[in-house]
Amino acid sequence: MNDLGDDEPQELLGEHRVEAGLHGQRAQARHLEVLTDRVCGWQADLRLVPTDVLGDLEPFGQQMDQRGVDVVDACPVARQLGVGGHAGLGAFVGHGARDATVRHVTGSDANAQLPRLFVDHPFPDAYNDLVEGRAVILGSGTDDGLDTADAILASATRPWNAAAFALAPNAKVISRVGVGYDNVDVADATAAGVVVCNTPIAPMVSTAEHTLALMFAVTKCLPHHMSRARQGLRGEGVGRALELDNSVLGLVGIGRIASRVAVVGNALGMNVVASDPAVLESPVPGVDMVPFDQLLETADVVSVHAPALPSTFQMFNTAAFDRMKTGAYFVNCARGVLVDHDALLAAIDSGRLAGAGLDVTDPEPLPAGHPLLDRPNVVVTPHIASASVAGRRRLYEHSIENALAVLEGKPASRVIG
């Protein structure tokens, strides 16, 4: 269970990756009569998980999605619902939330009465229909209106901490337009009475597909062959692409996205293995759970699906790359900080690795002229794995729905902390 470290295992909970009841033994779900059967909630009518049942696990909401589970604090839930009852569910807005009220919009001054959503990045016009008649967009890349905002739609880059929340005294919720909430200080948000939400389902399909696209691009040597085609050259007489059938796909982490990748890997005839310190049994049939070192030593393709934690920072370093099979391929659509890019470059240039596909880097984006951008066996995309038409729209749709739900006194679909 310690292949990736164990300092913050809460970030690896959920995603159907671990039976939450195995982590911490202070209480059981049965102690709340409003829950039934299982702590993870997929058999519970209310679809709620009490965080104190799991021990001191803050934050872990970005993974609690596979079965439509809301992550909440058990104490306010018990107070809101009452033991054994459903009354008050619609009024629950999350632990520590500032008072939230429903806005009833009527008359010619409707816009003045609509919830005010501050967006810390340019809000795409393509998604105006998601807020039309429902909310007013503020900011959109500036700080205009932050002091009057009822809610914040947050990107992945701007830090949201105590100082930032002080600039938004009326905000009751911050809703990430994405999965990771590394840039949101959940403790500071809680202290400010701001509910933190994210959208873990929204980019799942697109990111899994992009992972597979990078895997195909590098194992089939597409940049090399495209270069030859541009030069008017024929194909080479000796093959260089990896045949995926009967090769080994190693997944570092076996959550939502990795599970979808695993299903496709199985369909391609690949032998799929996974390493995840928070998983006792693979959620995908035909996937063997193995130690991290064994995965590195046996996989022809290593695909990374781990969260950014102190224990996973630059987990792919010189030692890790030296353990990988000579001629293996490396794909990362998770977080750039998981990889020592100097070590990756050295592994590429030495021939230890045959190629790499990266959607995330550190720094991000890589500066123009970075050597990884010039290698013919490396494909780098600028953190756009979720950027399908459907995937990107879902990100905004889910983040807006989360924000409006909290403002209306309803449970958001994904609450962190």
Q: So which residues are the catalytic ones?
A: 335, 364, 383
Tell me if 113 sits within 8 A of 103, measured CB to CB.
Answer: yes
Q: Would you tell me how many other CB atoms lie within 10 Å of the CB of residue 291?
A: 13
CA distance 286 to 55: 32
Strands 288-289 and 301-304: unpaired
Show the beta-strand stretches assigned E in 341-381: 353-358, 378-380
Tell me if 312 sits within 8 A of 339, measured CB to CB.
Answer: no
Q: Would you tell me how many other CB atoms lie within 10 Å of the CB of residue 39?
A: 22
Tell me if 384 sits within 8 A of 213, measured CB to CB.
Answer: no
Tell me if 253 sits within 8 A of 276, measured CB to CB.
Answer: yes
By CB neighbour count within 10 A (0-12 exposed, 13-18 middle, 19+ buried), where does 103 fall? middle
Q: Distance between alpha carbon 277 and the CA centroid of its chain, in Å?
A: 17
Q: Is the peptide bond before 363 cis (omega within 30 degrees of 0)?
A: yes
